[in-house]
């Protein structure tokens, strides 16, 4: 059995990944997994550090420390078949092809794998028929440093920048970029009419207008929340250094930035930058489309 091409540097892979489980009974696999310092079969191995349970009453996720005696893993393991190959497996046994979800995609990062399968029958092992394609509305694995969705509330209920933002498929200036997909009322952003500008806003990493300094000889980059794209047809769009909010915090995930500034105008209509205020909230959305209320456990070996 030939080993896969190994990862060059662990730093090229996500430090943490998060698994959301919706309409499947394998709820104990939901939570955050952290990358270990060693590799397994040329790929990073992730160990669960907390478990997520969805709180129906408050409509939000609750995180508890993972049980150290019942840890789960995201790992790249060899299957038990004669024509053995390697799969990404989410399961409880380190180094073994046993678990609740798997993907045969050969990606370096598990978050890049698109074809996932979920175990089907309780207490059934070893059959190809025990696996079904995992539905995206019930299962998701994502880079915890690059969330799929963000929610923005700038502190004013009528501000057009409020709403839901989705991760763009391509990075911008080597970091994640997000496009607004829902407005402040939760409605999809309408497509622009002919000769109209884009109506959505963006969250992106871009060089500021500040002069170079000793600490930033090439100029400083900031997280910007801005309204328009300079070249609208480009994918990803080419964004301008213009917006209503910015943060100098150098974070991979803008939702964990602590210092945000907003553009204000005084009585003389002169603009200036000041603190965004306590009403400004940019949060990571962690909500499955469906939830599974009862508990249970399904594990399968891949053959």
- Which tokens in the block code for residue 6? 């190994």
Cβ neighbors of 234 (< 8 A, separation 6 or more) are none
Q: Is residue 2 part of a domain?
A: no
Mark whether 130 and 210 lie in a shared domain. Answer: no
Range of the domain at 176: 149-284
Residue with tokens 């299957």: 79
User: Do 136 and 170 belong together in one domain?
Assistant: no
Predicted confidence (pLDDT) per residue in 224-235, tens digit: 998 765 555 555
| 276 within a domain of the structure (yes/no) | yes
Using only the alpha carbons of the chain, give its radius of gyration: 22
pTM of the predicted structure, to 2 decimals: 0.60
218/116 same-domain check: no
Q: How far apart are CA 14 and CA 36, in angstroms?
A: 11
236 CB-near residues (< 8 Å, 6+ apart):
168, 169, 170, 171, 172, 177
Same domain membership, residue 22 and residue 101? yes
Q: Do 193 and 284 contact (CB within 8 A), yes or no?
A: no
- Is the residue at 113 inside a domain? yes
User: Could you tell me which of 142, 132, 136, 137 has the C-alpha nearest to residue 112?
Assistant: 142
Tell whether 99 and 125 lie within a shared domain. yes
pLDDT digits (tens, 9 = 90+) for 281-290: 998 876 544 4
Domain total in the chain:
2
| Residue-level pLDDT, tens digit, the chain, 303 residues | 556 666 667 777 888 888 888 777 788 888 889 999 989 998 999 999 888 776 555 556 666 776 676 789 999 999 876 666 899 999 999 998 888 999 998 888 898 898 999 987 543 344 455 888 988 878 888 887 777 789 999 999 989 899 999 888 888 888 889 999 999 888 988 777 776 666 789 999 998 888 888 888 888 999 999 876 555 555 555 566 778 899 999 888 898 899 999 998 887 778 889 999 999 999 887 654 444 443 334 444 454
């Amino acid at each position: 059995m030939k080993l896969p091409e190994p990862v060059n540097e662990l730093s090229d892979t996500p430090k943490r990944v998060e698994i959301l489980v919706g309409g499947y009974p394998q709820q104990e696999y939901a939570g955050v997994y952290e990358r270990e310092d060693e590799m397994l079969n040329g790929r990073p191995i992730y160990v669960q550090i907390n478990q997520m349970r969805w709180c129906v009453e408050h409509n939000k996720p609750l995180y508890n420390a993972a049980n150290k005696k019942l840890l789960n893993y995201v790992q790249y393991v060899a299957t038990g078949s004669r024509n053995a190959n390697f799969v990404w497996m989410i399961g409880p046994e380190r180094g073994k092809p046993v678990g609740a979800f798997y993907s045969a995609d050969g990606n370096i990062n598990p978050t890049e794998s698109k074809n996932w399968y979920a175990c089907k029958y309780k207490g059934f092992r070893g059959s190809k028929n025990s696996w079904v394609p995992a539905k995206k509305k019930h299962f998701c694995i994502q880079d915890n440093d690059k969330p799929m969705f963000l929610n923005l509330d700038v502190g004013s209920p009528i501000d057009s920048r409020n709403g839901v933002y989705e991760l763009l498929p391509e990075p911008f200036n080597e970091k994640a970029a997000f496009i607004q997909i829902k407005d402040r009322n939760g409605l999809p952003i309408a497509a622009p009419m002919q000769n109209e500008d884009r109506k959505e806003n963006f969250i992106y990493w871009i060089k500021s207008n500040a002069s170079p300094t000793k600490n930033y000889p090439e100029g400083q980059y900031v997280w910007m929340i801005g309204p328009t794209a300079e070249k609208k047809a480009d994918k990803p769009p080419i964004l301008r250094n213009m917006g209503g909010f910015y943060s100098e915090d150098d974070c991979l995930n803008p939702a964990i930035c602590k210092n945000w500034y907003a553009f204000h105008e005084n009585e003389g209509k002169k603009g200036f930058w000041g603190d965004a205020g306590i009403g400004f909230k940019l949060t990571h959305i962690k909500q499955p489309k469906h939830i599974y209320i009862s508990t249970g456990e399904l594990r399968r070996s891949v053959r």
